[in-house]
């Protein structure tokens, strides 16, 4: 059992999911002194935190630590560099808090536009100052969104009902994707010049620190509003202070250099400021807790490290393609046969996946052997395959084939008398769903790997599918879906059947014997 420390008030779903997996023992203390807790549990495998500071001392005290999961998007409270030196991966849960932050932006805009905070205080004091609190409507205005990531996209969607003009700035997002969101992509100066409201949704790093400065403030309309629910450091406070004095710019703020009590440097320029409430909803807490637990389980069981932030991991890779690489390899291993001694692994990563080829080797390797340390990196995966005596080759791809963003995995193994056996599987992701498009020479399968499935490869002839169906029915197994194409030479057929429960091995063997199957197996995806 792997010990997991949760030194924070995190929704119980995290603990429930981890313990339900049967592989984890969870120690959760809502108001623990993290350093003392670490000293008491040096054998902890993982640490799940919210805003707790994970310092070098904490990391050093946890000698067996493999991973820190931050149940949230930011990780500035974690010493990621020291974690890397210790071989500890740091993961986040991007997107878990996105809706909460997007809704907070709208709440801040409306509260300010209608003077709700001041009007509430006045009314409670017995006043009736309707004329004093004359407000503005959001409808018909132009809103500029700086950063079209998880939060930026959701904000655009939530604002859609206000009949506004949406502008966006994001150096990665394509024109086509922005149009799909109802957003006009513009450069940063144009966004500040044309917007009535500017909402910031960018990380704080070397490139963005102080990015929102005098040059941009100088282009803003008089009385325009800036909302910062991103990171404090992206705004130059002194430049904003001067712009506010000259142009009457409104400033709505939820982020600070440090999340702690005490005087705030923006108190004199913030028209509304709240104590970093963006992710503070019941729903966001539960989403982050669930995602943290799920990421940890997949990290350990499948080697999926999509959300590791302190490795040299390329950004922009959809998590689904990690699942796809794992699933294709696992399926291909069964197609080549359990009896085949693996000799070679070849992969082809098409389209925009090509740059991620080295990194995707981790889930590929994890699918080949349960013994592989799935929290390892690409270098360890290559070494593991080498130690197994397995050659790995990532092939050059021909983009003229038009495969889009897809993955092909080929395995070669030796069987009796050193005869070689080869298997090849290709797949892609369609509308967020994994899709198997080809197995060996069986093309256009369009099969979603999900649930219990049985596979039979046999010599093509009439009546075989009926035999398989009858045998399964006799065993009380219901068929939910079937794929039954011929290969390109019209010599073999493959029967892929989604069924309602696991098919016992003796039934698989019996059916395989009756139909003379070359390959037969059950798999649960």
Exposed / middle / buried, residue 146 (Cβ in 10 Å: 0-12, 13-18, 19+): buried
- DSSP 3-state of 34: helix
pLDDT digits (tens, 9 = 90+) for 84-104: 889 899 999 878 888 999 999
Question: How is residue 118 written in tokens?
Answer: 């001041």
Say if residues 412 and 421 touch (Cβ distance below 8 Å): yes
Sites in the chain below the pLDDT cut of 70: 171-174, 206, 312-315, 370-377, 417-418
The phi, psi pair for 35, rounded to 5°, reads -65, -40
Domain 98-273 top-level CATH class:
alpha beta
In the prediction, which pLDDT does 272 show?
Answer: 98
Instruction: Specify the CATH number of the domain 314-447.
Output: 3.30.1330.90
DSSP per-residue string spanning 237-263:
HHHHHHHHHHH--EEEE---SSSSSS-
Say if residues 316 and 403 touch (Cβ distance below 8 Å): no
Separate counts of helices (H) and strands (E) for the chain: 17, 21
Whole-angstrom CA distances from 119 to 124, 130, 134, 335 are 8, 8, 10, 69
Q: Which of 111, 75, 76 is nearest to 93 (CA)?
A: 75
Q: Which of 407, 227, 382 is nearest to 323 (CA)?
A: 407
Q: What angle do CA 524, 323, 311 make, to 5 degrees?
A: 140
In the prediction, which pLDDT does 313 show?
Answer: 54
Question: How is residue 11 written in tokens?
Answer: 């929704």
In the prediction, which pLDDT does 83 show?
Answer: 93
CA–CA gap between residue 380 and residue 483 (Å, rounded): 38
The phi, psi pair for 341, rounded to 5°, reads -80, 120
Residue 50 CB coordination number (10 Å):
18
Q: What kind of fold does domain 2-95+284-302 have according to CATH?
A: Rossmann fold (3.40.50)
Domains of the chain, by residue range, sit at 2-95+284-302, 98-273, 314-447, 450-525
Beta-bridged to residue 427, according to DSSP, are 407, 436
- 406 Cβ contact list (under 8 Å, min separation 6): 350, 351, 353, 426, 427, 428, 437
User: Do 2-95+284-302 and 98-273 fold alike per CATH?
Assistant: yes
Say if residues 469 and 523 touch (Cβ distance below 8 Å): no
Of the chain, the percentage scoring pLDDT greater than 70 comes to 96
CA–CA gap between residue 218 and residue 512 (Å, rounded): 75
Question: How is residue 27 written in tokens?
Answer: 């120690």
Residue 417 CB coordination number (10 Å):
5
CA dihedral 67, 72, 73, 76 (to 10 degrees): -70
Whole-angstrom CA distances from 82 to 11, 42, 50, 58, 74 are 28, 17, 19, 10, 17
Place of tokens 């943290």: 292
Helices marked H in 424-463: none
CA–CA gap between residue 231 and residue 72 (Å, rounded): 14
- DSSP 3-state of 514: helix
In the prediction, which pLDDT does 190 show?
Answer: 95
Record the pTM: 0.60
Instruction: Specify the CATH number of the domain 450-525.
Output: 3.30.70.260
């Amino acid at each position: 059992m792997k010990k997991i420390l949760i030194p924070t008030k995190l929704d119980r779903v995290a603990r429930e999911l981890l313990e339900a997996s049967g592989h984890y023992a969870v120690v959760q203390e809502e108001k623990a002194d993290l350093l003392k807790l670490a000293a008491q549990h040096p054998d902890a495998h993982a640490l799940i935190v919210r805003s707790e500071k994970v310092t070098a001392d904490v990391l050093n005290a946890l000698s067996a630590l493999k991973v820190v999961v931050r149940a949230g998007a930011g990780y500035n409270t974690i010493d990621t560099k020291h974690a890397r030196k210790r071989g500890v991966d740091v993961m986040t849960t991007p997107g878990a808090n996105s809706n909460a932050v997007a809704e907070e932006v709208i709440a801040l805009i409306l509260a300010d536009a209608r003077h709700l905070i001041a009007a509430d205080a006045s009314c409670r004091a017995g006043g009736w100052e309707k004329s004093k609190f004359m407000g503005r409507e959001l409808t018909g205005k132009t809103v500029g969104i700086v950063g079209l990531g998880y939060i930026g996209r959701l904000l655009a969607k939530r604002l859609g009902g206000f009949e506004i003009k949406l502008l966006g700035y994001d150096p990665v997002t394509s024109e086509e994707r922005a149009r799909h969101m109802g957003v006009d992509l513009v450069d940063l100066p144009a966004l500040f010049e044309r917007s009535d409201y500017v909402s910031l949704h960018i990380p704080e790093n070397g490139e963005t620190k102080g990015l929102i400065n005098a040059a941009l403030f100088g282009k803003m309309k008089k009385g325009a509003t800036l909302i910062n629910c991103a990171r404090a450091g992206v705004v130059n406070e002194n430049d904003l202070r001067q712009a506010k004095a000259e142009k009457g710019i409104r400033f709505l703020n939820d982020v600070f250099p440090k999340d702690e009590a005490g005087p705030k440097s923006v108190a004199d320029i913030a028209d509304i400021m709240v104590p970093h409430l963006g992710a503070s909803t019941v729903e966001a807490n539960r989403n982050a807790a669930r995602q943290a637990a799920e990421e940890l389980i997949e990290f350990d069981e499948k080697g999926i490290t999509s959300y590791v932030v302190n490795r040299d991991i390329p950004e922009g890779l959809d998590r689904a393609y990690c699942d796809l690489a794992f699933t294709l390899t696992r399926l291909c291993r069964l197609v080549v046969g359990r009896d085949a001694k693996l000799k070679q692994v070849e992969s082809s990563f098409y389209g925009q996946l090509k740059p991620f080829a080295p990194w995707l080797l981790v889930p590929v390797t994890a699918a080949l052997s349960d013994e592989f340390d799935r929290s390892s990196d690409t270098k360890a995966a290559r070494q593991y395959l080498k130690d197994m005596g397995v050659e790995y080759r990532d092939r050059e791809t021909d983009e003229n084939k038009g495969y889009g963003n897809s993955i092909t995995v080929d395995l070669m193994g030796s069987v009796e008398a050193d005869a070689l056996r080869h298997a090849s599987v290709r797949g892609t992701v369609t509308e967020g769903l994994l899709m198997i498009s080809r197995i060996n020479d069986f093309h256009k399968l369009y099969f979603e790997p999900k649930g219990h499935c049985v596979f039979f490869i046999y010599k093509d002839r009439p009546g075989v599918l009926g035999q398989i169906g009858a045998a399964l029915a006799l065993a009380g197994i219901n068929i939910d879906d079937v794929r039954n194409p011929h290969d390109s030479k019209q010599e073999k057929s493959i029967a892929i059947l989604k069924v309602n429960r696991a098919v016992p091995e003796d039934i698989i063997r019996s059916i395989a014997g009756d139909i003379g199957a070359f390959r037969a197996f059950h798999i649960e995806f």
